[in-house]
Chains A and B, each alone.
Chain A
Amino acid sequence: MATPHRRKRRKVDGDTLPTPKKTRGPASPRKRKTKPDPSPDTITPDTSSAIVDPLPGPSKLDGQRAPSEQTFISIDELPPLLPDRFHGCLRAQKLQILRASQRPSVGTPAASDEDPSTNEIASTQLKNLLDGTLSRGEGNSCLIMGPRGSGKSRIVEQQLDALAEKPIILRLSGWVQRTDRLALREIAYQLTQQTGSSFLLDDEEEPSAVNDDDENPFLVPSEPNASQGVALPPASHLPALIGMLPTLSRPSIVILDAFDLFALHPRQSLLYCLLDTAQSCRAGAGSKGIVVIGMTSRIDANNMLEKRVKSRFSGRIYRTAPPAKLYQWLEVAKGVLSVETQTSDQHTAEWRTLWTAGIYRFFENDSVQNQFREAYAVIRDIRLLSRILTSLAAKLSPSSPFPSSQLLVSAISSQRTRPQLTSLHQLSYPSVCLLIASVHATRGGHASFTFEMLHESFQDQVRASSAAPVQVLGGNIGMAFEELISTHVFVSVAAPSSNTAKEFVKYRCIAEIEDVRKVVDRDGQLNLRKWFNKAQ
């Protein structure tokens, strides 16, 4: 599956997830060194060597690599320990992988016979929209909608970077600008930064100039200095400031991250002003144009708008989506892992050969493919993939220089299938006792329990089985209880009250009985196990 031929693979992908068995024979991957469908520009190697080209087709077609680099190396020749001369190369490679994994390139250009992906469509639509504003001075608005990590921000950033002339870009986030006044102040600040003049202060200066004669002692004279702080403007300035945006010397782009949160602001006045300005912006009438781009992962964001706001919104909704096929996911992973280094090291070419062979071996591994498939089947968020790849790259070292199945498993277990209660696995003896006592209480029909109940149960057990390892003082077990509370294994049922003594506050155990069983089994103490089994 190193370089899956796109057309062939897509047929397989049709509706179901491809299984490696379908595309690969029963023979072990090591023996089978030829590609399933070699591209016409590569030489078919003999059976003892593998083509070291895990890159997907498009990047190869770019002609970035010289044909001389198309070397072959036997997978068995990969050194288990990296020679000293490659240490610099490995570091550079890790750096590049980490960089690439922060910004994985999802939008690979699609082949001509396939419909363009969702993100490509959104990207093109956004490009056209921006074109309309920047070249013709239109007032536009749109909403980019898609699940978390599906590339909303990336598409916007890509399009903004691609612009020839730099417009005024105002970035607002619903997480930070929690009220319209804060948002307005931020707009004023960013305008000051990008245009060099503060429009808010100009507005304020005029009345103050008029009132100079009154010598209002409460009015602090404001300096029209751009570096000064921007005071919180009154809400009445909102329409004036936003209405002025199209009259600036450059077109303006307003980006609203977490658009749905702005819709929760009272009366949606910011959205109303922005969308109203965008709608009433007449092309060619001396205005430079404005575009309002909202980004949200909430699917009903459009319906959250009030009627008067909605009627001013253009209704353009561009959708983004995570990769729809497993092979796209894998291609992203391959693209990240086989990113090229740009070093002046003399061993770079040699390293490149080794590295591509290592990547080839990695992706040929059945267990690796299973891991990727499993991760993809559960979460399609591309950011999860980038976290997995980051973890993979961070753990590469001269003693294990190439990605391996074990590293991938550990990366996935640390980033995706995280153990639920890690703190359970190093509990001390008193804590385990309390945990078992809580299981007994739960089994007895009391889902919530007090410390006294657990302590009584524990004492009964110590009394009943004379073989308790060590008699524990009360203080010790009380501390264990606090430990369990602080690690959120026991969570309080009711709000803390001043007239309830600490030992009678009710708690609930969030560890499942199976978790406790694992802890007890791992601890291996026979007494504890017997006591635990009584609860069955």
Chain B
Amino acid sequence: MATSEHWELELYTLLSLCPPSFLFVNTTSARSTSGGLSNVLKRLSQEPQDKAIFSARVDGIACFTSRLIYDTILNGLAQWEPSWADGCANWSAEGETRRWNDTIDGFIHGIVSVGQHLQNTRVQPLSEEKKSTGAELIRLVITIEHVERLRECVPEVIVPLTRLAELSRLDVCVIFLSETRWDDIRPAYSAAPDPYFIDIAPAQKEESMPVSSSSKHPIDAYHPELRSLWSHYVALVCDVCYSFTHDLEELQYIAVARWPGFVQPILDERLRIFRDVHGHDFDPSDEQDMLLVAEMAFELPADEVRLRLTRLFNPSITAALEELYPRLTNAKDWAIANKPEDDILAQLPTQLHPFKTRAKLPASTEPVEISTLSRMSKFILVASFLASTNPAKSDLRMFGRGLDEKKRRRRRASKPSGTKVKSGPVRIPQRLAGPMPFPLDRMLAIFGALLEENDTDKRPFRIEYSIPGEYTDMETGRVAVSALIMHLCSMKLLHRSSALDKLDGPPMFKCGISYEITLLFSRQLQIPLNDLMWDPL
């Protein structure tokens, strides 16, 4: 595992001297590695080398067909930009109208052609003395990022790409860059040669984050004077967040969101000093004030102040992590919503409480699309949840009523008293293992049972339904119920697991809502959900 400097140096050495024809760079953060790689290639193209180096970069996400890959590589190597005015033509050698992108053969011919073109046009005019020797003067470097995508989209190009040097008989170096291991990408039958591996260690906690200090006046959160405070602040953010994410960019995002609030007390202090000295408030748009403030010398916060700030803001960084890392909100809104109180440092230490986040997000109890559901659809969803999680054999016990109309024969909840360990796998509640498909009839039966238990008293009295349960049967048999079921299917709250055109047997469905949502519905409908579940929570 190489740290960032080491691997860049290693790669630079290899590419500038004599690289293996196929390299595999295994990284943990493709974004930062890709940046490092482009630095290396930039340096290589700027500094004089034994051979002129031309490079092309391909992103496995953007290039999802073989033609896109071929065209991107050839255009990149020839430094050719397709332009709209020319009809977006791809690169081709002078006087040729061939297309290089039809098959891998054509692509290899294209690479050879690009090589000759570059050798003739870019290199040889510069070095006439080398021309006589006839040696190859160019080296082509092809970088392919997100190689794991190629395996999914265009697996047939992987093997030729790994053998490109021997196929084209040029000085070509192909670099695969991926977060996935080579073993997961490697084509079958060991068709590809083993690459030269470069492993990149993840960024360390200690690697500091750069901050752009563009501000001109010292009463600003981004003034260079505050850089030492920034480094302390970064250490604080890393301490809190590092165990949850090692992604440097995520840490930067959180740090940047909290920073204006963190320095706000210090800036407030400086504003107060300015007011005391000059007798009026600082106005950044006033040039006179800008001159005045530039002459003033502000002290950096003392260690004691810094420690107080740390203590005050520590909990809010955790809060920032919890909201910003899953992107429940954005950094700017979060920073505005969590501005510290004014003059927080001016208060006595005893009065201070650790800073708490004020603006909690509205609890995501009920998504919008679910809140608009009708009462009957909620009954259907609860019934389908029960049908999906309870075993079919348990229905009679859970929903059947005895003659006394009260007593339900529940599952025996108490565990056997003996501590005998049963062999076999641990039983997993169906709620966790995923919903089971159920026939429509079964769900309708449960639906009827739920309605009979919880809905009868809310209906208007109808004289024609005299037999017990007749009214409920009427309700469950309505066309509206079938229509609702199809509507819920289209909302993906129910999943139809049998084919649409299947005629025999009842259609099968699966429940598409989670336990939490079901619990919410059953509370609204006053259904005792836990009593009706075979594996109660």
Question: A residues touching B (Cβ–Cβ < 8 Å)?
Answer: 91, 94-95, 98-99, 102, 148-149, 153, 173, 175-178, 182, 185-186, 189, 227-229, 258, 381, 383-384, 387, 390-391, 394-395, 397, 414-415, 418-419, 421-423, 425-426, 428-430, 444-446, 450, 452-453, 456, 469-470, 472-473, 475-476, 478-479, 486-488, 499-501, 503-504, 506
Q: Quick one: which of A153, A175, A487, A503 contacts B159, CB cutoff 8 A? A: A175
B265 within 8 A of A: no
**Interface flag for B478 (CB, 8 Å):** no
Q: Are A148 and B198 in contact (CB under 8 A)?
A: no
Asked whether, in the complex, the Cβ of B160 is within 8 Å of the Cβ of A175, the reply is yes
Q: How far is the CA of A173 from the CA of B168 in the complex (A)?
A: 11
Which chain B residues border A488 with CB–CB below 8 Å?
180-181, 184
B residues 1-37 with Cβ under 8 Å of A?
Answer: 1-2, 9-10, 13-14, 17-21, 26, 28
Q: Does B196 contact A (CB under 8 A)?
A: yes
Q: Which of A94, A426, A478, A479 contacts B13 (CB 8 A)?
A: A94
Q: Are B199 and A452 in contact (CB under 8 A)?
A: no
Is B108 an interface residue when CB atoms closer than 8 A count as contact?
yes
Knowing A414-B198, A423-B28, A500-B434, the reply to whether A227 touches B328 (Cβ < 8 A) is no
Judging by beta carbons under 8 Å apart, are A175 and B191 in contact?
A: yes
> Out of B97, B201, B243, B512, which one reaches A501, CB within 8 Å?
B512
The reply on B67 being an interface residue by CB < 8 A is: no
In the complex, chain B residues 491-513 whose Cβ is within 8 Å of any chain A Cβ: 495-497, 510, 512
In the complex, what residue of chain A is closest to B9 when comparing beta carbons?
Answer: A397
Complex formed: what's the CA distance from A223 to B234 in Å?
68
Which of A176, A189, A383, A444 has the most B CB atoms < 10 Å from its CB?
A176
Expressed in whole angstroms, the Cα–Cα distance for A488 and B180 within the complex equals: 7
Q: Known A176-B160, A390-B20, A428-B243; judge A453-B428 contact (CB<8 A).
A: yes
Q: Which of B404-440 contact A (CB under 8 A)?
A: 424-426, 428, 431-435
B290-305 interface (Cβ within 8 A of A):
none
Measured in the bound complex, the distance between the Cα atoms of B166 and A383 in whole Å is: 14
Q: Of A153, A397, A418, A428, which one neighbours B246 at CB under 8 angstroms?
A: A428
Q: Which residues in A have their C-beta under 8 angstroms from that of B434? A: 450, 452, 500-501, 504, 506
A503 to chain B, nearest CB (A): 8
Contacts A178-B156, A414-B198, A488-B180 aside, 13 further interface pairs with beta carbons under 8 A come to A94-B17, A148-B193, A384-B194, A415-B197, A419-B199, A423-B28, A428-B246, A452-B434, A472-B322, A473-B326, A475-B322, A476-B325, A499-B496
- Chain B's closest residue to A503 (CB) is B514
Q: Of B98-106, B335-343, B348-356, B391-399, which binds chain A?
A: B98-106
A428 B245 Cβ-Cβ under 8 A: yes
In contact, B424 and A445 (Cβ under 8 angstroms)? yes
8 A Cβ contacts from B40-94 to A: 50
Cross-chain contact B432 with A450 (CB below 8 angstroms):
yes
Name the CB-closest residue of A to B180: A488
A391: chain B residues at CB < 8 Å are 196
Chain B residues near A176 (CB, 8 Å)? 104-105, 108, 160, 167
| Given known A-B contacts A227-B96, A470-B318, A486 and B179 have beta carbons under 8 A apart | yes
Which 8 residue pairs are nearest across A and B when measured between Cβ atoms? A445-B425, A504-B434, A475-B326, A444-B426, A499-B495, A98-B18, A426-B202, A429-B243
> How distant is the Cα of A475 from the Cα of B323 in the complex, in angstroms?
9
* Cβ-defined contact, A418 with B10, below 8 A: no
CA distance A503 to B512 in the complex (A): 11
Does B460 reach chain A (CB closer than 8 Å)?
Answer: no
Interface string of B183-212 (1 = CB under 8 A from A): 010000011011011110110000000000
> What would 17 A/B residue contacts be, using CB atoms closer than 8 Å?
A148-B190, A175-B159, A390-B196, A395-B10, A422-B26, A422-B199, A423-B28, A444-B426, A446-B428, A450-B432, A470-B244, A470-B318, A472-B244, A472-B322, A473-B326, A479-B326, A487-B179
- Residue in A closest to B497 when the chains form the complex, CB atoms: A499
Q: How far is the CB of B27 from chain A (nearest CB, A)?
A: 9
Which residues of A have CB within 8 Å of B495? Answer: 499-500
| Contacts of B304-332 to chain A: CB distance below 8 A | 318, 321-322, 325-326, 328
The answer for the CA separation of A473 and B196 in the assembled complex, in Å, is 41
CA distance A487 to B325 in the complex (A): 19
By a CB distance below 8 angstroms, the chain B residues around A182 are 103, 105
**Is A456 a contact of B244 with CB atoms below 8 Å?**
no
Closest to B323 in A: A473
Query: Which residues on B sit within 8 Å (CB–CB) of A472?
Result: 244, 322
- Residue in B163, B193, B514 whose beta carbon sits within 8 Å of that of A173 in the complex: B163
Quick check: B431 and A444 within 8 Å, CB to CB?
A: no
Given known pairs A94-B13, A444-B426, the reply for A415 and B196 (CB within 8 Å) is yes
A318 to chain B, nearest CB (A): 20
Please report the C-alpha to C-alpha distance between residue A384 and residue B163 in the assembled complex, in whole angstroms.
16
Contacts of B197 in A (CB 8 A): 387, 414-415, 418
Least CB distance from B367 to A in Å reads 14
B188 CB to nearest chain A CB (Å):
12
Judge whether A469 and B184 touch: CB under 8 Å: no
**Interface check B109, CB cutoff 8 A:** yes
Smallest beta-carbon distance A382→chain B, Å? 12
**Is A185 within 8 A of B10, CB to CB?**
no
B431 lies within 8 A of A414 (CB):
no
In whole Å, how far is A469's beta carbon from the nearest beta carbon of chain B?
A: 7
Q: Point out the residues of chain B lying under 8 angstroms from A422, CB to CB.
A: 1, 26, 28, 181, 199
Please tell me which one of the listed residues B13, B202, B243, B428 contacts residue A394 in the complex, with CB atoms under 8 A apart: B13
Which residues of A are found within 8 Å of B244, using beta-carbon distances? Answer: 428-430, 470, 472, 476
Q: Is B134 an interface residue (CB 8 A)?
A: no
* Closest beta carbon of chain A to B147's beta carbon, Å: 13
Distance between Cα atoms of A178 and B424 in the complex (Å): 50
- Chain A residue at minimum C-beta to C-beta distance from B185: A488
Complex Cα–Cα for A450 and B428 (A) = 11
Shortest distance in angstroms between B134's beta carbon and chain A's nearest beta carbon? 15
Given A423-B28, A426-B202, A445-B426, A383-B193 contact (CB < 8 Å): yes
Q: Is B95 an interface residue (CB 8 A)?
A: yes
B165 to chain A minimum Cβ distance, whole angstroms, is 9
CB distance from B190 to the nearest CB of A (A): 6
B99 engages A229 (CB within 8 Å): yes
When chains A and B are docked, how far (Å) is the Cα of A165 from the Cα of B395?
A: 88
Given A387-B196, A390-B14, are A102 and B95 also a contact pair (CB < 8 Å)?
no
A177, B105: Cβ atoms closer than 8 Å? yes
Residue contact A175 to B193, C-beta cutoff 8 Å: no
Residue ID in chain A nearest B98 by CB atoms: A229
**A500 to B245 alpha-carbon distance, docked (Å):** 28
Query: Which chain A residue lies CB-closest to B112?
Result: A193
Interface hits, B227-274 → A, CB 8 Å? 243-246
Q: Which B residues are CB-close (under 8 A) to A94?
A: 13, 17
Residues of chain B within 8 A of A228, CB atoms compared: 97-98
Tell whether, in the assembled complex, residue A387 and residue B20 are in contact, meaning their CB atoms are under 8 Å apart.
yes
Whether the Cβ atoms of B326 and A453 lie closer than 8 Å is no
What residues on A are CB-neighbors of B99 within 8 Å? 229
Q: CB-nearest residue of chain A relative to B198?
A: A414
* A384: B residues at CB distance < 8 A: 194
User: Is B510 a contact of A499 with CB atoms below 8 Å?
Assistant: yes
Cα–Cα, bound, A24→B71 (Å) = 59
Residue among A173, A227, A419, A453 making CB contact with B433, cutoff 8 Å: A453
Whole-angstrom distance from the CB of A105 to the nearest CB of chain B?
A: 16
How distant is A463 from chain B, measured CB to nearest CB, in Å? 12
Residue from A381, A394, A414, A499 within 8 A of B199 (CB atoms): A414
A501: which B residues are within 8 A, CB to CB? 434-435, 512, 514
Nearest Cβ on chain A to B129's Cβ, whole angstroms: 15
Q: Which of A91, A229, A383, A414 contacts B194 (CB 8 A)?
A: A383
State the CA gap A486–B433 with chains docked (Å): 22
B14 adjacent to A98 (CB under 8 Å): yes
- Given known pairs A428-B246, A452-B431, the reply for A479 and B18 (CB within 8 Å) is no
Q: A452-B432, A486-B179 are in contact. Are A426 and B325 (CB under 8 A)?
A: no
Chain B residues with Cβ under 8 A from A444's Cβ? 425-426, 428
B105 touches A186 (CB 8 A): yes
Q: How far is the CB of B137 from chain A (nearest CB, A)?
A: 15
